[in-house]
Structure 1
Amino acid sequence: MTESGRNPRFDDDLVGLDPDDPEAQAFARHLDRMQRCEPGFTVEGTLHNVAEFAESSARVGGLRWWIAATIVVLLVLGVIVASWDIVVRAVQWLAE
């Protein structure tokens, strides 16, 4: 975004589209997200990817929302099971 709030894509890639059209603005934001190239193996990159997943799942509805919610529930369940396993093994080790 420039200082005037206008996406520079309308001068480069989206010439001829109305920059005030909400659908054209959404498409420009989509192109910005698709062409963003950053490392995903850093903590910051991972957190950014999780935030982007949360934002995109909040935008969709219906079946896609339920699939995203199921993925989140499965991830949280996996973290809980792994944490419980670590705690049980630590208590067993300390009891020896």
Structure 2
Amino acid sequence: MPELHGPGGARFDNELLGLDPTDPEAQAFAEHLDRMEHQRPAFTVEGYLDGVSAFADSANRAEGGRRWSAVAVVVLLLAVAAFLVWEAFVFVVMTWL
């Protein structure tokens, strides 16, 4: 959970003006602001894994239709990956025969 106040003073003073720092809703809003300001490394393995982690975290927070949509996307990606692995396996086996 991000701190409402960072090392350089109040981190989100302008955004959280007048809110109680111990309020769970204010803390959730600070977490949202922290996620929005997070800079991800682009075009690197770490960047892609961070993107997958962000997707998993947001899917875990989702409810109802959004959660089922995230589950459907994951199942579809796994099905495509399984198909490609199977096709590669069949190609290798058929090449040796």
Alignment of 1:49-64 (within 5 A): 49-64=51-66
The residue number in structure 2 matching 1:18 is 20
| Identical counterparts, % of pairs | 49
The residue number in structure 1 matching 2:8 is none
Q: TM-score, normalised by structure 2?
A: 0.83
Alignment of 1:1-96 (within 5 A): 6-8=3-5, 9-95=11-97
1:32 Cα deviation after fit: 0.8
Larger RCO (CA within 8 A; separation ≥ 6)? 2
Two-structure CA RMSD over aligned residues (Å): 1.7
Q: Hey, which of these two has a bigger chunk of helix by percent?
A: 1
Alpha-carbon contact 1:10-1:16 (below 8 Å) kept: no
Q: Structure 2: any 5+ residue segments left out of the alignment?
A: 6-10
Matched length: 92
Q: TM-score, normalised by structure 1?
A: 0.84
Q: Quote the Cα distance in structure 1 between the aligned partners of 2:54 and 2:14.
A: 25
